[in-house]
Structures are given as structure tokens and as C-alpha cells.
Chain A
Amino acid sequence: MGYILNQDRMQVILNELQKDYIIYAPQNKVGEGMYSDTDVVRYERIQQIMDVEFHKKSNYSFKEVLLPISQTLFYYTENEVKEAEVERKKGAIIFLRSCDLHAVKRLDEMYLKNGFEDYYYKRLRDNVKFVVMGCENSFENCFCVSMGSNIPENYDIAIEERDGLYYVDCKDDEINALFEMSDEQKEAVTIHFVQTNDITVSIPENLSIDVIKSKMWDEYSSRCINCGRCNFVCPTCTCFTMQDVFYTDNGKVGERRRVHASCMVDGYTEVAGGGSYRKTNGERMRFKVLHKVYDYKKRNGYHMCVGCGRCDDVCPEYISFSNCVNKLEGAMEEITNHE
């Protein structure tokens, strides 16, 4: 059902929803950017509709809601273990964009369908509704059209904010009932999703693992600073590492945490005995790029990357993931001609 609401009426609906759900949305955090007097858009629990950032791409993705950056799993002391309380007991409503909704499918694939269900993911994933925010225009560095993630599927609400009015297309019966309860008029509403991006990406049909022999990876060894920002902002990067810590004032008590990990950051490939793989940043870039557009697809039938372009937005060294992907065709030619 379609509705058009002003801010006050939209807030009424949001207030109703907050009885049963915690709302997470991208928020512009003033002054919290990398540099002085710059902002960052990242996910926060919000209570006011005016706190939702509708007009900028979020720098960090929604994944932090389903996969906390640093999550205590359980506490231990001597012979006892106590599971940590779940982060939220209510359901969640997550505002995100079409590319991100496609990323949810990737997270589910890895955490729910990859042999067994991940307990900690599942308990945050259950009882979640998705509010997809329209994209009237493509943002800088977006290439969702190339990755087929520009049109959302299976959302509960689609929403757009224009000139102080909220345009809502609701597919969820429970929430539709709320709109009806507050006597909202049904309107024909179209939520916009982009059909083109400035950036297009093409992944060669003949891409094979031989591409690792290409010289194209070498430049990243000197350009990349292995900070891992590209991974941390990526809505489909799901790697974590485990930390068992013992509290310093009582070495018999501690906790196990899992925290986000990055295949670009030092230590990622360290194994028992001191071995370490992919030492150069070029090798790490190669691993990351091929995981996003090659080996994930081999297993699951579709690409991991959803084309949000956040990795390009955030890179302090101006390394472009999309441009790297577009170099793969030339790299395949280089390999084929060489052999």
C-alpha cells in the first residue's frame, strides 16, 4: 500500500513501531569523520525519523546491526560459562538501500546456509524487517546496476523522503495495519531505484584462477596501506576473529569475543607456528577482489559484491575496487598471450 506522510505523521508510525521493534538507520554523525570537522554516516539506533540520513550514502553498512563489530559471546570463570545477553530482545527494523538488501542475501548465505546456522547471527537475524530507501540518483562510485543489485527484492517497506514528505510503499500486513489505524490515505506511490550508474563494471566471462599470475596485482603492493577500511565498510565482508581475554585484575575470569577481521590487515593469515600467507598488499588485494567476483560465485552461483562502492568511497589511497575489477579482462588477455 502507498502512503504520503509529513514528518509528524511519519513519526507517529515510527513511535508505534518502536513498541515492538528497535529501529536502526544510517545517521549523519557530525564531526565523527576521519578528519577534523568532517562527518561520517553510519548505523545507529534511532528514535526520530528526522535522524535518518536519506540523502547520503552511508559510509559504513547495515551489517553492523546483524554482525556487531565487537561481540561478547560468553563469559567464563573457572569451571563455569555464562552466555552473554543478546544485544536486543525486541525485533529490529533496518533502513537500508537496495544494494544492502542484496547484501543481506549474501550474509544469510554465509551465516545460515553454509553447512550450519550461526547461532549468534541467527538470533539477531530473526524478527527483522527491512525498510529499503529509494535511490533517486546514483551516488559516486556506485555500480549496483552492473552487479544486478539496483532493484530490491523481498522488502517490507520502501521509503523515500522528498521536501519533508515521506513516500511509503508498504508490503507488510502488520505495518499496513498501523497506517490504517492512523487513518492514512492510500496513495499511488512510486519509489525510485536507479537504472544506470556512472560507473559500470564488467567481469570477464573467461575469468579463471590463472589471473593470479597477472602483473596487475603488483601495483597494489606499493599503493595499498593495508588499513582494511575496504573490508570494514563492505556490506558483504563477514570475516571475524576470536579473542579470548582474561580480565587483568582477575586472571581467572574472562570473556570470548568475536570481532570483525580484514583480509587486508596484518595478522589475518597468521597460523599456529608463526606461518603467514599473502604477505604483500598486492596479494591481499588479489585475494579480496577474486573472492568478491570469482570464487564466491563458484560456490553460490552469483557474485558476492553488490556494487555499493563504499570501498572506493573510503579508501584513503584512492584505490578503486571497481577499476581493479575492470582490469581483469586485460589481465586474462595478458595471461592467455603469455602462455
Chain B
Amino acid sequence: MDINTKKLKKNAFRVTKERGLTASRVRVPGGHMDAKYLSTLQEIAEKYGNGTVHITVRQGFEIPGIKYEDMPQVNLLLQPIIEGLEINQPDKNEGYSASGTRNIVACVGNRVCPYGCYDTSGFAARIEKAVFPHDLHFKIALTGCPNDCAKVRMHDFGILGMTLPQYNKDRCVSCMACVKACKKKSVGALTMVNGKVVRNHEKCIGCGECAIQCPTRAWTRSNEKYYRLTLLGRTGKKNPRLAEDFIKWVDEESITKIIVNTYAYVEEYIDKDAPLRKEHIGYIVDRTGFEEYKKWALKDVTLSEVAEVSKTMYWKGISYL
């Protein structure tokens, strides 16, 4: 058997512990897809795999027990999924074309969840279009609200949905629903003054709890969608750490540009000896300094007036080095 393992990894297969057998890794950007593709996965697993499917931690499906020689047939069967999920693919019928940049993960977002501040899977799909296929090691995750069910602070780029609450005092009846909810479930940014509510903008995290709780539509959501962008969280052997805040009240277009800009920065500064050109971005930023990264990241980015950018950033985390 003569198999180019470097090549198959880029094709979203993996070398498994069982000699002669591989596993196909099916990415689902934003974690949402038409149910019809499940029957394709079943077909692959039963025809070429061992009849099981592993649901991955990054919202994909890993189909184990596939013989290396069956990879082309599996890629053919994957084609409708790749097309259906609108994944950028340079060569038709050749399967997934990269695997370095990991699947973009999203919580269910406002397609289903009452707390979701935006369509997480939709935004994930738009980032997908802008960055894939790519083999640099980037992890991007989106979550609908500051509850962060998607654990985006464990990623290089964490995107948390926010809404800028709009207050119509003429519709307010001083029922206290927003003030109580903000205090108990969120950060306590609201206070009642003379029967009307005052919002502390510095404290407000844009969770939208006030807009949900308000029984009279005195509180509503902003037309514009806003986000908190967090940077350079990571897992890993050496120095796992949680992401820190980069920009609060940032817009979608700026986030996409910052991510794309970061690819150029990494191309420039990645450790030339990194195994498989795989190095967490955080280690690179540690080398160059945050200022240099910020310069690259914000190139040609025009932030709106409401956006608040962190002047500098420090990461904590556990170091085993």
C-alpha cells in the first residue's frame, strides 16, 4: 500500500490507529444543514465505513473504518453535501480541499434560540466563503449571545452576538421586568430613575435580555447587529488560555476583514519550522507583540463610532512550559 498521508490529511481524511483504515471528516459550517444529507452520511458509513458515525466536537461527522482505497468513492458520495453546504471547492468530486482551518462552529443562534441576537449559521457561512479553503490553523466560532454556549473564547476568533438596546420611554410602565432580569441574569446595567430606565452603556453587554423581558416594547433591539470579537483563545499542550476582548460593538464586515487580514499576518510571521505549518496564532502574536498584530488586523478596517477597541491585550492561561 502506497498512501501519501500528507495529501490525505488535506483532503479531510485522517490516519487512524488501525492500519489500512481511514476516517472521512465531513465539515458542516455553522452546524446547520438540511436533514437530507444525513442519509448520505449513513450510506457512506454503511457502504465504506464500519457502520458508525462520530459527531465531532467541531460540528462535523467523522465516518471511521474506511479503506484508504475507497477514498475516491467516498469523495464522490460527499459531493452533494459539499455543494449543498456551499463549500468552496477548487476541484469537483475531489472531496474537501483543505483541513487546516477548522470548521467554523456556531450555536443554533436566532434561527431557533430566543436569546440569539443574530443568525449564527448564516454569518458562519459568510466567513466560510471568505476564508476557505485554507490550510493555516485557524479556529473560528460564533455564538448568538453573551451566554456563549458555543464556548467561543476557546477559539482564535470568538464572535458573540450583541444588540444595542433601544428605549422608548413613552412605552415604559416601570414594571421593573428589565431591571430585575438585567440584575439577576445579566450584568445589572439598568436602573430605574423617576419611573424610567437608565442604561449604563459601559456596563451593558448587549445580551438583549431587556428587549426579551419588556412587556410593552419599550425596549427593542437595534436594527444593526453588533458583536463582541474576542481573540486568541486556545486549547493545547503548552499554554491553554481563554480569549480576551478585542472589539466591543463591532460589525460583521469588520470582523470578516480582520479574520482575512490575520491570514496575511500569519503567512508573514509563522514559525518556518512549525510542524505541518501548524502554529496557534497566539504564539505568533506572543513573538511579534500585540501592536504588530493589531496593525495587520485592522488594515483597511473602518470601524463604526460605537466600536470600542482594546488599547492593548494581555492573555492569562495555564502554562506548562
Contact = CB atoms under 8 A, between A and B. Distances in A.
Indicate whether A and B interact. yes
B221 A36 contact: yes
Secondary structure class of chain B's binding surface, majority of residues: loop
Contacts of B116: 35-36
B231 interface: no
Measured as residues with beta carbon below 8 angstroms from the partner, the interface class of chain A is 20 to 34
Interface in B46-64: none
Contacts of A243: 174, 194-195
Interface string B149-175: 000000000000101000001111111
B173 to A, nearest CB: 5
B111 to A, nearest CB: 9
Contacts of B114: 34-35
A69 B212 CA distance: 19
A68 interface: yes
B264 interface: no
Contacts of B117: 36
Interface residues of B, number: 32
Given A35-B110, A36-B110, A259 B174 contact: yes
Interface in A31-51: 31-32, 34-37, 40, 42
Contacts of B163: 36
B216 interface: yes
Chain A interface main SS type: loop
Contact of A247 (B173, B174, B194, B215): B194
Interface in A55-72: 60, 68-70
A31 B220 contact: yes
B153 to A, nearest CB: 21
A257 B195 contact: yes
A259 B195 contact: yes
Interface in B178-222: 193-195, 208, 211-217, 220-221
Given A70-B169, A261-B173, A34 B211 contact: yes
A229 interface: yes
A36 B194 CA distance: 29
B221 A70 contact: no
A215 to B, nearest CB: 28
B306 interface: no
B128 interface: no
B223 interface: yes
A227 B174 contact: no
A188 interface: no
B176 interface: yes
A257 B172 CA distance: 12
A70 B119 CA distance: 34
Contacts of A40: 217, 220
28 contacts: A29-B220, A34-B211, A34-B214, A35-B116, A35-B212, A36-B117, A36-B118, A36-B221, A37-B119, A40-B220, A69-B170, A69-B172, A70-B170, A70-B173, A227-B213, A228-B173, A228-B215, A232-B173, A243-B174, A243-B194, A246-B194, A247-B194, A248-B193, A248-B194, A259-B174, A262-B173, A265-B177, A266-B176
